[in-house]
Amino acid sequence: MKTITNKINLKNFSLAELQDYMLEIGESAFRGKQIFNWMYNNFASTFDEMNNIPIKLREKLNEIATINSLELVSKQSSNSTKTEKYLFATREGHKIESVIIPEHERRTLCISTQVGCPLDCKFCATGLMGFTRNLTVGEIIDQYLLTSKFIEPATITNIVYMGMGEPLLNFDATLKSLNILLNDLGNKIGRNRITVSTSGIPQKIIELADSGLRVKLALSLHSCFDDVRNKIMPINIKYNLEENIEALKYYAKKTKTKIMFEYIMLKDINDRKEDLRALVKLCSTIPSKVNLIPFNSISHMVSGGLSAELEPTPREKINEFAEQIMKKNIFVMLRNTQGDDIAAACGQLAVKQK
Ligand code: SAH
Ligand code: SF4
């Protein structure tokens, strides 16, 4: 374990808070704006490089503050796709991952919100890790800033909150990071290029709708039947489908966006005729799209239980399922298995903590 200093971390601050902090330490609010610009537009990682800040203030900041939330430990690239997986360490040494998925003109950053995840979905590698703690705002933001710095002069065009953890269980930090990325950063990345994915926490879906941020929302649906969902996603026992669908209807109406239903295709579990019928019916009741996801096996990581038994639906059957959905005039996407060879595909993000 590393020693952790008590320095105040400026990456946990919104722009307004940074300006207030400058006033608090006897400086002008304008310095806050300058420092924000250094961190967010020049990806500065030290106060010393902020050369339009007086040396005296830089020295003072070095004493009392820091702008380092995460440290880049390593980067792996996939041979088959151009996916890149970044391994970061928090200041006390916890490991988390982010992934950049390039596709045509887009570079999508997939960020983590927790070290591990408490929700124990049976198909998910992160779930198998258990839960250590929530990430701070600075740690969420630093995944964007450090990868941006790394890929310069290219830029990140889209962000998905689909890495390790459940964003809506780290709601305040998630919301604040969204506010910084959308409002403080001034439309560098638009709200329709940011997606938050959740396993379904109804009260928080409503709060996110009321936040006015209007980002895209994805629900990890995976089955339209409570009994199946209870088995593969234990959180469904607490918050069932009906409650979640109500919350999603509210979200779609309030934000005027379509809900994305993520649906991992699991052989004989959610790829039957009745599953197709139920999915089509659900989509007709709410403005939505479907994202069919080939299951990335995690059987090598477990020795028993349901997780060891789950198998992917064969590709042909996935295609057929997609066609049937399309025939009903529902927008459906088939996700590629991006970065499978470096375990950077969805649900494969898990790192040993020691
Ligand atoms: N906790 C949030 C966000 C992180 S998971 C959520 O569950 O939505 C991001 C996406 O990866 C989710 O759609 C999740 O269901 C999917 N996923 C998890 N395990 C997977 C696996 N083994 N194969 C394919 N997708 C997986
Ligand atoms: Fe957590 Fe999402 Fe994985 Fe479920 S799928 S264990 S909610 S990260």
pTM of the model: 0.95
User: Ligand 1 centroid vs 47 CA: distance in angstroms?
Assistant: 37
Q: How far is the CA of 10 from the centre of ligand 1 (A)?
A: 31
255-278: pLDDT as tens digits:
999 999 999 999 999 999 999 999
The segment(s) of the chain belonging to CATH 1.10.150.530 are 8-66
Q: What DSSP assignment string belongs to 88-105?
A: EE-TT--EEEEEEEEETT
Q: Tell me the chain's radius of gyration from C-alpha atoms.
A: 21
**Residue 145: its H or E element:** helix 137-151
Catalytic positions:
97, 346
Per-residue DSSP letter, 183 = I
Start-to-end CA span in the chain (Å)? 10
Pocket of ligand 1 (CB under 6 A): 123-124, 162, 166, 197-199, 220, 262, 264, 293, 295-296, 298, 346-347
pLDDT of residue 343: 58
pLDDT under 70: residue ranges of the chain? 1-5, 337-354
Class of domain 8-66: mainly alpha
Which ligand is the nearest neighbour of the Cα of 161? 1
> What is the reported pLDDT for 297?
84
Q: Ligand 1: which residue has its CA nearest to atom 7? A: 199
Q: Which residue has the tokens 């250590």?
A: 132
**What pLDDT does residue 333 have?**
94
Pick the CATH number of 70-342 from 3.40.50.460, 3.40.50.300, 3.20.20.70, 3.20.20.140: 3.20.20.70
32-85: pLDDT as tens digits: 999 999 999 999 999 999 999 999 999 999 999 999 999 999 999 887 778 999
| Structure confidence at residue 352 (pLDDT) | 61
117 CA: nearest ligand 2 atom: 1
126 CB within 6 A, ligand 2: yes
How far is the centre of ligand 2, averaged over its atoms, from the C-alpha of 124 (Å)? 6
SS3 290: strand
Least Cα distance to 310 among 320, 318, 302, 322 occurs for 302
Residue 304: the pLDDT is 85
Task: Name the 3-class secondary structure at 121.
Answer: coil
Question: How many A from CA of 6 to the centre of ligand 1?
Answer: 35
Give, for ligand 2, the residue of 96, 220, 291, 293 to mutate: max count of ligand atoms closer than 8 Å to Cβ: 220
Q: Strand 194-198 vs strand 216-220: parallel, antiparallel, or unpaired?
A: parallel
248-252: Cβ within 8 A, 24+ apart: 248/205, 248/217, 248/219, 248/286, 249/285, 249/286, 250/205, 250/206, 250/209, 251/205, 251/206, 251/208, 251/209, 251/217, 252/286, 252/287, 252/288
DSSP-assigned beta bridge partners for residue 97 = 87
Residue 177 CA from chain centroid, whole number:
11
Q: Where in the chain is the domain with CATH 3.20.20.70?
A: 70-342
Q: Cα separation of 33 and 52, whole Å?
A: 12
Question: Is-contact 215 191, C-beta < 8 A?
Answer: yes
Q: Which residue lies with its CA nearest to atom 8 of ligand 1?
A: 198
Helices (H) and strands (E) in the chain, counts: 13, 14
